[in-house]
Structure 1
């Protein structure tokens, strides 16, 4: 199993810090990337609707949602820190392929729905700020496609700094909005006391909770905490858990402030002036200036909306990469992944807006939240099972009290979301011109998902299977060696990547050189640290790769082959030619993994870039 977000995995050192503050600071960052998912444009509509219809009465719902989110995100961080697996990887190694494909499909739909909300939010912000037609603004959002690639190439700390800057823009904007709006602080405090004015308020409350906890954030957090390199001792893991909890608490409280500020702004402006029906983001923007008497209120509102959309779409695409790599063990180039995710969101938005006009954006946002609601249970429930498992968590499993609390939270969230989905389906059936189509498609699908949800909930309780993680080790490979020898005086180089493909490449090399040839196994470390520090890097990935090469050498030497190893650092298409041209080799054997044409575009290819830089024959093995 490859590392989660391998290009930045364990790229931030947390050891040898001189003070407690520096240690805490080294762990700070992942939760801020998570927090933007809790203040994305999908949350704005429910916050505005809640504030305009019921004033400050539903502030307590936001507070409760934030506490639920903090608990779930802490579980996600615990999974990543202790097991060094993200949620998608843990699911892949636990459930059957059939179940995993369904879970992957649902996760991808949820990420696409989330990206739809972020695209719409950012486009609405651009439309409001620069008076650009909404459909053009949607297309403009494609331009940020390469921003994630640029940021991640600069390192995870640079990305975290960028996201924190956007969060700061959102926070500062709403501080000024609060100054302009002058909310009644007594009523704000009163709104933190649980109450439910009527059934309509309950529906809005469900929407707020449904929009708050994002399923993709659970995948993302379990991966981002692995960007920190720390002592893997019991004390080191405890320290990492402690500092990440502090990080999550601060970041999610900032998200609570933003959501509360949006609701308070709606209450202090629209509810106070009897404008109870304001629920659209565009309407809220339009009414701010005349009500508050300043042109800066709508400008700051639009700027914050753009910042929320931009930051959320970056983290959403990262989550997409994690889900694809984790569930399918499939890695494609980040820019291709980004374009695919963005197009899945943009194409439906452009089509719907073109046909039905700009007034439909509010319904699209609501639809995206319903889709997210449908998927949420399939992320929360496996997470609770995983962090409760004693063998999997190596003694760092959650306590019985925390388990009870987690299941209560999961029950509340899943029940409310099931109700939300049920209400939407009933509404579609009542208003549809041809409800039979829905009965034959949507209803059976909903029942199927419900059965799958129940299966995931109860299976671990009924069948106590031992959940073992697969180890990234050559001993997992079934290497069978050929005795055929065609040439006996060769110096043969073989590239290896510690996957099952190595067996094919190594056997092909043995067929060329036989028992008398001299073989050199070449592996290139591609981590961010390796690219920056080269052979001076001493990160976890390098140590693992050195060990695996040594195990390969020992394994092959025992069979009578003459084997050396060579570890390179950086981009393979640059490093491998340098090793080959200095090594005096007769032939290089490497695999293409069967990539041709469009697959080369998706997966990238070292072969094409390398073949023109070496002066010896290249033996390409199709894996």
Structure 2
């Protein structure tokens, strides 16, 4: 008989799966959502609705194959397509690790930017503090413990952004329409791609599948659904807060604008939210790279190689943070790699959840799940090719 879902187990599952929300809500999300709100008001909220639903769909499928087969998505790809050559697993791991290392720099810089707005301490001091605390948590904590800790921080971040966003809503009917009716104002396509791409993150599929073993199916579905939905609401709150901002975009300008319009508390809440977004992502990016290495290359989480992966990712982020330089060339390269990675991983996932030799029939996709996933895969492929075109253009 299937295990019933209690309030306590359901809440624990939401906290556990909040690691996914923590991973996709980083400084890049704060920047993209704030710019979308500042430039287009509520008009692009529908892109967050789509990307949130797409993330739930893909993350549920990635975790389901692990629960059903006892193997992660990376292990399945490696076993199925890496028998004669390790080229594909190595390429996928390299693309994920490169993306994680590049974005880790932005995560630490974002966390430091938020702390700087709050404390006015030197950036190099704050960079060391963020890096050391993150390293200590990853070194000492289990995956489950880290995930639940991140869930609590994401909750605080959500409260901060939601409180600011509540002051920005003056037309409820326009807000509700924008959530479900797609529109493309002139010049908004790049931001739409950014809003979707910053939520449906390819390395999260490896992360979610890698930590899903041992979960109950009902708890996993409840946890992923609610945790990612909360993440989508936080992204929407950031966009709504951005509607209050005018002029050129910078974190300082956002904080100053909110403070002048609503009081100093609003600027402080934004600064804390920015710090929380950077700090949670500074934990999840190295963790995602290490979990991907474990699943694709078979490195156990007790091995030196596993720890070396997340230490290198953390070190790259701290280095760029101490130098005060945004790693633009590396990020451009990472965007190109992830542009290829997202549709590739999504296609492998779609094949895996329809493989009756791999999964019991009750765990395979039904017709409607295949239609929905096919739509997400098609749009993911478009986004990947569009990102590549933008990089090379």
TM over 0.5: yes
1:79 matched to 2:79? The reply is no
What is the RMSD of the two structures over their aligned residues, measured on CA atoms?
2.7
- Structure 2, unaligned runs of 5 or more: none
Summarize the Cα distance change of 1:375–1:345 in structure 2 as closer, same or farther, 3 Å threshold. farther
Asked if structure 1 preserves the Cα contact closer than 8 Å seen for 2:346 and 2:377, the reply is yes
Q: Distance in 1 between matches of 2:288 and 2:334?
A: 17
Query: Match for residue 139 of structure 2?
Result: 149
- Is 2:51–2:200's contact at 8 Å kept on the other side of the alignment? yes
Shift of the 307–227 alpha-carbon distance from structure 1 to 2, 3 Å rule, reads farther
Give deviations 1:345-404, integer Å, cap 9, x for gaps: 3334545x35xxxxx589987876565444322322211111111101122211233223
Report whether the alignment pairs 1:389 with 2:355. Answer: yes
Aligned match of 1:62 in 27, 44, 48?
A: 48
Q: Do the aligned partners of residues 377 and 135 (structure 1) sit closer, same or farther apart at CA in structure 2, a change above 3 Å counting?
A: farther
> 1:280 pairs with 227, 244, 250, which one?
250
Q: What TM-score comes out, normalization by structure 2 length?
A: 0.89
Residue 146 of structure 2 corresponds to residue 159 of structure 1: yes
Would the alpha carbon gap of residues 53 and 22 (structure 1) be closer, same or farther in structure 2, given more than 3 Å must change? closer
1:441-520 map, 5 Å: none
Deviation at 1:23, TM superposition (A): 5.1
Q: 1-side partners of 2:202 and 2:218: how far apart?
A: 23
Shift in CA distance, 29/168, structure 1 to aligned 2, threshold 3 Å:
closer
Counterparts of 1:260 and 1:420, CA distance in 2: 23
- Relative to its length, the structure with more helix (as a share) is 2
| Contact kept in structure 1, 2:290 and 2:307, CA below 8 Å | no
Q: Quote the Cα distance in structure 2 between the aligned partners of 1:47 and 1:363.
A: 23
Cα deviations by residue, 1:23-77 (Å, 9 ceiling, x for unpaired): 5456444321112123222211110111011001001111111111111111111
Pick the aligned partner of 1:341 from 307, 313, 317.
Answer: 313
Verify: 1:102 aligned to 2:74, yes or no.
no
> Of Structure 1 and Structure 2, which has the larger fraction of its residues in strand?
1
**Equivalent of 2:287 in 303, 318, 322:** 318
Corresponding residue for 2:101?
Answer: 112
Instruction: Report the 3-state secondary structure (helix = DSSP H, G, I; strand = E; otherwise coil) of the residue aligned with 1:198.
Output: coil
* Structure 2 partner of 1:92: 78
Q: Is the 8 A contact 1:28 1:247 kept in 2?
A: yes
Q: State the alpha-carbon separation in 2 of the partners of residues 53 and 26 from structure 1.
A: 38
Query: Is the CA contact (8 Å cut-off) linking 1:120 and 1:361 kept in structure 2?
Result: no
1:322 is displaced (CA, Å) by 1.3
- 1 or 2 for the larger relative contact order (CA 8 Å, sep ≥6)? 2
Counterpart Cα distance in 1 of 2:333 and 2:268: 27
Structure 1 residues 224 and 54: alpha-carbon distance in aligned structure 2, compared to 1, 3 A threshold: same
For residue 390 of structure 2, what is the aligned residue in structure 1? 423
Give the whole-Å Cα distance in 1 for the aligned partners of 2:372 and 2:185: 27
* CA deviations over 1:489-523 (Å, ceiling 9, x no partner): xxxxxxxxxxxxxxxxxxxxxxxxxxxxxxxxxxx
**CA 1:93/1:18 → structure 2, altered by over 3 Å: closer, same or farther?**
closer
Q: Is the 8 A contact 1:41 1:309 kept in 2?
A: yes
